[in-house]
Structure 1
Amino acid sequence: MEKVRLQKFMADAGVASRRKSEEMIATGHVRVNGKTVVEMGVKVDHSDKIEVDGMPLETEKKRYILMYKPRGVISAVTDDKDRKVVTDLLKDDVRERVYPIGRLDYDTSGLLLLTNDGEFANHLMHPRYHVDKSYVAKVEGTLTTDEIRSLEKGIKLTGYTSARSKVTVMSKDKKKHSSIVRIVIHEGHNHQVKNMFDAVGHQVIKLSRERYDFLTLEGLVSGQYRDLSRQEVADLKKEITDRK
């Protein structure tokens, strides 16, 4: 096997994303062949003895999981407030150290991908690959045509302007003064969908992600998960390659 950079090796082994692996290296958490490494240029392969926080690093088979995340669960592998995290929902059949690709807010439900393939995760999260994510939101009030146009064109938020999106009003409830709206984006900033609706004066009451590219929640109920098929993984990787 050709030697690769240590942070990539760690990411591929499911330790963490490549960026997080770089942070772990820089802060002295990683040893290679008995020596602590803090530089980013070190290259390794399976013949090297790699330890993370004193634990030997064992390479794992790649795992790709689609989960229907419930509300009230953190999109993480640990939580300092001891709240339930998405990996708590995994059963004994998942022994690999998977972690979420991106995140859904604590009170947001829907489609979440988990993997131990760091490069795959980084590509899916990067906005330049334009991976569409479709959300259904229950919002206060009724969006006007101008508000929809503003959301679709891109709206100024704290620190950035959102990219173009697609907005569809699915239904309106005049008695409850609310609407059901589908919005398709390809970015993943924190609280982005909520902030976009807030920016045009409509607070999100309830939010769910129903689609990730061509993947849906079909066949799953809240809290369940399944492995992606080989074809689904191949199709996602092909789309990323085609968009480079």
Structure 2
Amino acid sequence: MAPVKRQRVDKILAHMGYGTRKEIKRLIKEERVQVNGLPVKDPGLNIIPGEDQLFVDGEYVEYRPYIYIMLNKPRGVVSATEDRTAEVVLNLLPPCYRARRPFPVGRLDKDTEGLLLLTNDGRLAHNLLSPKKHVPKKYYAVVQGTVTREDVEAFRRGVLLEDGYCTLPADLQILRAGLRSEAEVTIYEGKYHQIKRMFAAVSKEVIYLKRIAMGPLVLDETLKPGEYRELTDREVTALRELTGR
């Protein structure tokens, strides 16, 4: 394991969401920041995160280079860090999280709800999205029209979309069949509007879509749309093991 590099106190605190560099300089001037029991005088003081003891207002600062957030994305919110016309998922997080510059891992359509992972761990995000990894993504769908066993078989073979692309095999489970059907779909890639286009290819219309799992990560049922929580250590480990991170 590579040794932990020394970092400036103001950089660490900014990364951990304690404010801008200017705000942190004010904290230091007011002697509210301590390292190893002594007040910090210089914002550029270099310390070893996790080894040197850093406190702000008497509270220990636990240094974590990465953050992992599970969000239950609501409908009408864009899976992006910024957008000129629409609300984005980052707006749903408090400033202390936004300061750490997380970004969504992949995209959910604006009108799709459910599990969205936000992180500043670029390597893990890249691995989760890599076409070579075939990370499964499971969705709950409400569909206009009767979903049949023939549709299940079509999804299992791979569906030819309107642009000529044939999808990878997908798992379609019928939960309730009728004029308005309910189903769970697991896909192993992430093409644009893929599930909607797959159902359209078998003459069905998706009227509600919610992602409920991504690899080993399952949407926390206690999270209402718009709510979030940090991943547990076990969840982060499972994602890393899946991708070889």
- Residue in 1 aligned with 2:207? 205
Q: Which amino acid aligns with 2:172?
A: V
CA shift at 1:105, angstroms? 0.2
Identity of aligned residues (%): 40
Q: Which amino acid aligns with 1:210?
A: I
* Cα distance change, pair 75–192 in 1 and its aligned pair in 2 (3 A): same
- Residue in 2 aligned with 1:42? none
Q: Following superposition, which runs of at least 4 residues in structure 1 exceed 2 angstroms of deviation?
A: none
Alpha-carbon distance in structure 2 between the residues aligned to 1:159 and 1:75: 27
CA shift at 1:190, angstroms? 1.1
Structure whose alpha-carbon radius of gyration is higher: 2
Contact 2:217 2:239 in 1 (8 A): no
1:171-210 matches, within 5 Å, as 171-173=176-178, 177-210=179-212
1:84 aligns with one of 84, 87, 90: 87
Contact 2:124 2:243 in 1 (8 A): no
Matched, 1:166 2:171: yes
Alpha-carbon distance in structure 2 between the residues aligned to 1:232 and 1:137: 25
* Cα distance change, pair 84–137 in 1 and its aligned pair in 2 (3 A): same
CA shift at 1:203, angstroms? 0.7
Matched, 1:239 2:208: no
- Residue in 2 aligned with 1:113? 117
Q: Which amino acid aligns with 2:166?
A: T
Matched, 1:214 2:219: no
Q: Could you say what the CA RMSD is over the residues aligned between the two structures, in angstroms?
A: 2.1
- Residue in 2 aligned with 1:224? 227
CA shift at 1:159, angstroms? 5.1
- Residue in 2 aligned with 1:29? none
Q: What is the TM-score with the length of structure 2 in the denominator? A: 0.70
How many residues align structurally? 183
Contact 2:67 2:102 in 1 (8 A): yes
CA shift at 1:231, angstroms? 2.3
Alpha-carbon distance in structure 2 between the residues aligned to 1:169 and 1:159: 26
Alpha-carbon distance in structure 1 between the residues aligned to 2:96 and 2:83: 22
Alpha-carbon distance in structure 1 between the residues aligned to 2:214 and 2:242: 13
Q: Which amino acid aligns with 2:139?
A: Y
Matched, 1:68 2:92: no
Contact 2:102 2:119 in 1 (8 A): yes
**SS of residue matched to 1:161:** coil
Unaligned runs of 5+ in 2: 4-14, 16-63
Contact 2:114 2:210 in 1 (8 A): yes
Q: Which amino acid aligns with 2:100?
A: E
Of the structure 1 ranges 189-198 and 215-224, higher mean CA displacement relative to structure 2 is found in: 215-224
Alpha-carbon distance in structure 1 between the residues aligned to 2:219 and 2:240: 20
Alpha-carbon distance in structure 2 between the residues aligned to 1:164 and 1:103: 21
1:139 aligns with one of 139, 143, 149: 143
Matched, 1:150 2:154: yes
